[in-house]
Amino acid sequence: EAGVTQFPSHSVIEKGQTVTLRCDPISGHDNLYWYRRVMGKEIKFLLHFVKESKQDESGMPNNRFLAERTGGTYSTLKVQPAELEDSGVYFCASSQDPGQEQQYFGPGTRLTVT
Amino acid sequence: QKEVEQNSGPLSVPEGAIASLNCTYSDRVSQSFFWYRQYSGKSPELIMSIYSNGDKEDGRFTAQLNKASQYVSLLIRDSQPSDSATYLCAVKRNSGNTPLVFGKGTRLSVIA
């Protein structure tokens, strides 16, 4: 069984540019989560999809971040325009439904905004 | 006050010793508790979950939960150099598919 994959593994962009991160969850997993780890801080929740619907987006920092999950398969997280404080590692995780506790994490995308 | 607190370490233990990792949480209604292991540049990997007070053992790992003290710990017996990693404590308010709240992690170094 393939795990959660994320693309790209690294991205370096300039302030003001746009970046799109992609996450492919484990096949059949309806739940998809985005998390972010800023340097020196803990991993923090951004949002949660159930299939194609946003279940909880309370962790999204501001309207420069847009997440989509068309068709309920892969998800994208777009940052537009990027700011310096957006730098960090963005993790995606997925889990089955109903009620599976374990979230399987991808390797993350390291985003550097210069 | 942070929601989930861990000592960042590094915690250094000799090979074969017991490593003890600790975590406290602030939200009394938390229901589910997890320990993830993360090697540098890799995905966090779930190694233990615990939901009720007491101990839960899985191989060399034992998770301990005390809800009254809002404390969860992870013991690693017979520590191996391959156990060297960052250990993340994570908490969920409700059961089921809800977000994890993480601590900053404790870096463990097992010295051969």
For the record, the structure tokens of B5 come out as 């607190």
- Shortest Cα–Cα distance, A88 to chain B (Å): 12
- Shortest Cα–Cα distance, B15 to chain A (Å): 28
Rounded-to-integer distance, Cα B111 and Cα B83, Å: 10
Q: Which stretches of chain B are assigned E, i.e. beta strand?
A: 4-6, 11-14, 19-25, 32-38, 45-50, 54-58, 61-66, 71-76, 85-92, 101-102, 106-111
Rounded-to-integer distance, Cα B57 and Cα B36, Å: 15
Q: How far is CA B90 from the centre of its chain?
A: 7
| Bridge pairing between strands B101-102 and B85-92 | antiparallel
Rounded-to-integer distance, Cα B76 and Cα A64, Å: 42
Cβ-based contacts of A43 with chain B (< 8 Å): 44, 88, 100, 102
Task: Select from B26, B43, B47, B92 the residue whose CB has the most chain A CBs within 10 Å, as the one to mutate to test that interface.
Answer: B43
* Between A112 and B29, residue with greater pLDDT: A112
* Reported confidence tier of residue A96, pLDDT bands at 50, 70, 90: confident
Distances in whole angstroms, Cα of residue A46 to Cα of each of A16, A90, B54, B96? 21, 9, 32, 17
Could you give phi then psi for residue B82, rounded to 5 degrees? -70, -10
* Reported confidence tier of residue A2, pLDDT bands at 50, 70, 90: confident
Task: Find the farthest-apart pair of alpha carbons in chain B and give their distance in angstroms, rounded.
Answer: 41
Other C-beta atoms lying within 10 Å of the C-beta of residue B62: 18
Cβ-based contacts of B93 with chain A (< 8 Å): none
pLDDT 10s digits, A9-61? 999 999 999 999 999 999 999 999 999 999 989 999 999 999 999 999 999 99
Inter-chain residue contact B97 with A97, CB threshold 8 Å? yes
Could you give phi then psi for residue A84, rounded to 5 degrees? -60, -40
A79 pLDDT exceeds 80? yes
Residue appearing with tokens 């013991």? B75
Q: How far is CA B105 from the centre of its chain?
A: 8
For the record, the structure tokens of A74 come out as 């892969």
Minimal Cα distance from B47: which residue of A?
A102
- Shortest Cα–Cα distance, B107 to chain A (Å): 13
Residue appearing with tokens 């097992």? B110
- Shortest Cα–Cα distance, A15 to chain B (Å): 24
A1 pLDDT exceeds 90? no
B1 pLDDT exceeds 70? no
Residues in Cβ contact with A63 at an 8 Å cutoff, skipping those fewer than 6 apart: none
Cβ-based contacts of A104 with chain B (< 8 Å): 43, 46
Q: Which of A55, A102, A106 sits opposite B43 (nearest CB)?
A: A106
Q: Which of B49, B88, B103 sits opposite A101 (nearest CB)?
A: B49
pLDDT 10s digits, B30-52? 889 999 999 998 999 999 999 99
Return the pLDDT at A100. Answer: 61
